[in-house]
Chains A and B, each alone.
Chain A
Amino acid sequence: MQRNLLLGVEAIGQAAVDAGISGVYAYPGTPSTEITEYIQHNQTARERNIHREWSVNEKTALEAALGMSYAGKRTIACMKHVGLNVAADVLMNMAITGINGGLVITVADDPSQHSSQNEQDSRYYGKFAMIPVFEPSSQQEAYDMTYDAFEFSEKTGLPVMMRIPTRLAHSRAGVVQKTVQEENKLKLPENKNQFILLPAYGRKYYQSLLDKQSWLTELSEKSVYNEYFEGKDKSLGIICCGITYNYLMENYPHNNCHYPVVKITQYPVPKSMLTKLEKECDELLVVEEGYPVVEELLTDFFGKGTKVSGRLDGTLPRRGELNPDHLAKALGKEQENTIAIPDTLVGRPPSLCAGCGHQDTYIALNEIIAEAGAGRVFADIGCYTLGALPPFNTVNTCVDMGASITMAKGAADAGLSPVFAVIGDSTFTHSGITGLLDCVIEKTNINIIIVDNETVAMTGGQDSSAKGRIEKICEGVGVNPEHVRLFVPLKKNHEEIVNIIREEVAFNGVSVIIGRRECVQRIAKMKKLNKAKKQA
């Protein structure tokens, strides 16, 4: 059988294409970005010309996916965990409407926060919305489960969440593919009121979602992806969710784990398997990547039942990504005599690339801050967040996408003056425009610096929805064109940049100052791509 080396995210992209999707909808975000990029470059996806452009943010992505499902076609939406916060409104409500064409939402969680503001666990969203959640344990399962998820979605009438952690997203293994399915035909929903959530309809659909829950549990219990492994030693029963199963088995190289084990890769949890395990075993250990979702479910509040250990009682770390060594420790198989890290070793945090325009902007802004006083730079999420670190130390906040403008506004409302918002071009179109409108309506005294590198740089240089549109957007929203300023972030322009910012600080109202120069990595990437295209 032909095996292709695929990252977990690529396996999902390939499976979605093979399952006959008519579109992918996504906004970039590590570690989910490469699903969409893979589909964008996929031969079948190109031949079929399925939808594969980036969306402006996760909410627009998931809503568009729902629209494609409404029309009867299969579709996948992809985002990182915090992206689902942005799309949470449609998620909660699409669980109530249900779907027409199969709809899969892939959410990539980032335990240990390799590239994220937090390590929230998307399974809570799955539970909150009461929809099925798939959590594959390997690249092959990521492929197989995604391939099956569309049919499962159509069978249950619900969106299906695929939850993967960074480690699976960005690890490669050989994957065997299945046959490529045809796309669905256009087909409107049978019930023409299915997608109308007027309270009278909504109540009915919510009841039907509630009624489906026991069926979903039954499907989990029968699922080939949830497994019960017998074991002779009943002093402990182990529950492993998703990839943590591999970390357990790494400690039993000859597949000789003597404890009974339940491997969960499909939720709601397979109740009958867990009941059997609890009955058989003296104690339980729950191993899961992310928050203690299953552990909390099984731990009984008054402490009278079976002892359950895991992340909550300190058997495993409460925070961060797990690995085989955590399991070894929990099972008393800890590796001793390892070589220590020498004291000479120091950390190497990420930093802005040599030649990056963000540096020139921060050097200029720092000169103004020296005059205005520290503590007034509200920044946002992107490469430019690295302006919070030395040598710049310019940035005072970075919370969630778009919060630069709105937090600066709140601080201005509180009396802080002057205030600065620093926001990237992609972040601006993702979530900055609405905040800008608030400022315009209230004539807030704010200086918004849009650091426009004409790409989504942090996630690897994707096309930015903002490209060529920023001035028009700002003016359209109502910013006085005289206070929409432009500079080129280059060392030689330092004086000019400082002067522009100073002039806008002197103006009492909404100023938008755009620093525009293309990201040097994006330039290099496009050169490489064009060269490869020419060769081909």
Chain B
Amino acid sequence: MKTDIILAGVGGQGILSIAASLGAAALNENYYLKQAETHGMSQRGGAVVSHLRIADHPIHSDLIPLGAADLILSVEPMESLRYLPHLAPGGSLVTNTIEFKNIPNYPELESTFEELSQKINIIRIDADQIAKDTGNPKASNMVMLGAASPFIAIHDDIIIKGIESIFKAKGDKIVEMNVEAFKAGRTFSTKNK
């Protein structure tokens, strides 16, 4: 088993909570894991990326090679495009549709996604809205993780356990809300696959 995931977003959007949940899940299962993060300057509203690699055997590189990622999971639509050369043939792209416009030249993306969808499996999801609908507007990243989960080679029960261990310290209520958000994302994705 191996699953290579590119997590993308904009500095400050908290993609690391997604990585942390998967990391906890992997550790619970005694899987090997490597996860490269972006710290520093780019966290001031720049493009950030995390390479997350999970396997049942030792992993060499902290970085995912080109054409090897099973999944690009992006919490921002334009950022989902930045790492496309890393995607493996047959890989999937799951992205939030809510645009983060902190640059003057933010492009129109609709036609790009249409064109791309001819070539790869794309799931676009308004995670913010679904998070609101589940009553936890702050949990859009867990909605995203849920939406991506059908494309991750780890059973969803195990991921849920990972989410539980990450949010445990904040109390049962928070845990429950995040798990709900995860499930809502997963439902959306399985329906729109």
Contacts and interface: CB of A to CB of B under 8 A. Distances in A.
B95 interface: no
Contact of A386 (B44, B109, B119): B44
A7 B170 CA distance: 23
Interface stretch (B77-85, B124-132, B140-148): B77-85
Interface in A1-25: 3, 5, 7
Nearest to B104: A390
Interface stretch (A204-212, A305-313, A340-348, A403-411): A340-348
Contacts of B102: 348, 351
Interface of B: 10-12, 23-24, 27, 32-47, 51, 59-63, 65-68, 78-79, 81-82, 84-87, 89, 102-109, 112, 115-116, 119-120, 169-170
29 contacts: A5-B27, A30-B41, A166-B40, A171-B35, A172-B23, A173-B35, A246-B60, A246-B62, A247-B60, A323-B65, A324-B61, A337-B67, A338-B67, A338-B85, A341-B81, A342-B116, A344-B107, A344-B108, A346-B106, A348-B45, A348-B46, A348-B78, A348-B79, A349-B46, A351-B44, A351-B102, A352-B45, A383-B44, A535-B169
A530 B43 CA distance: 22
The 7 closest A-B CB pairs, nearest first, are A115-B40, A30-B40, A350-B46, A250-B61, A350-B44, A171-B62, A115-B41
Contacts of B120: 339
A168 interface: yes
Contacts of A460: 39, 43
A249 interface: yes
B73 to A, nearest CB: 16
A325 B66 contact: yes
Interface string A449-472: 000000000111000000000000
A174 interface: yes
B108 A335 contact: no
Interface residues of A, number: 49
A335 B67 CA distance: 7
Given A335-B68, A349-B46, 15 more contacts: A30-B39, A114-B40, A114-B41, A167-B63, A168-B62, A173-B33, A174-B33, A250-B65, A335-B66, A339-B85, A339-B120, A341-B81, A344-B107, A347-B103, A348-B103
Nearest to B86: A338
Contact of A342 (B79, B106, B112): B112
A170 interface: yes
A246 B84 contact: no
A448 B147 CA distance: 52
A527 to B, nearest CB: 15
A363 to B, nearest CB: 17
Contacts of B169: 535
Contacts of A5: 23-24, 27, 33, 35
B124 to A, nearest CB: 15
Given A3-B27, A174-B27, A346 B63 contact: no
A115 B85 CA distance: 24
A346 B105 contact: yes
Which residue, of B34, B47, B61, B104, has the highest number of chain A Cβ atoms within 10 A?
Answer: B61
Contact of B45 (A34, A341, A351): A351
B84 A340 contact: yes
Contacts of B115: 342
A139 to B, nearest CB: 8
A388 interface: no
Contacts of B42: 114-115, 350
A172 B41 contact: no
Contact of B63 (A174, A324, A352): A324
Nearest to A139: B34
Contacts of B10: 348
B66 to A, nearest CB: 5
Contacts of B103: 346-349
A323 B60 CA distance: 11
A328 B169 CA distance: 44
A54 B112 CA distance: 48
A330 to B, nearest CB: 13
A342 B81 contact: yes
A535 B169 CA distance: 9
B35 A172 contact: yes
A279 B122 CA distance: 53
A323 B170 CA distance: 38
Contacts of A344: 81, 107-109, 112
A290 interface: no
A340 B67 CA distance: 11
Contact of A345 (B39, B63, B81): B81
Contacts of A352: 44-45
A243 interface: yes
A172 B42 CA distance: 19
A34 B40 CA distance: 11
A346 to B, nearest CB: 5
A172 B45 contact: no
Contact of A341 (B51, B67, B82, B109): B82
A416 interface: no
B85 A341 contact: yes
Given A324-B61, A324-B63, A341-B84, A458 B112 contact: no
A353 interface: yes
B107 to A, nearest CB: 4
Contacts of B27: 3, 5, 174
A402 interface: no
A83 B115 CA distance: 47
A328 B65 CA distance: 9
Contact of B34 (A171, A346, A348, A535): A171
A170 B44 CA distance: 17
Nearest to B89: A337
Nearest to B47: A348
Contacts of A171: 34-37, 51, 62
Contacts of B37: 7, 170-172
Contacts of B39: 30-31, 34, 115, 170, 460
A172 B107 contact: no
A246 B61 contact: yes
Given A249-B60, A250-B60, A174 B81 contact: no
Contacts of A3: 27
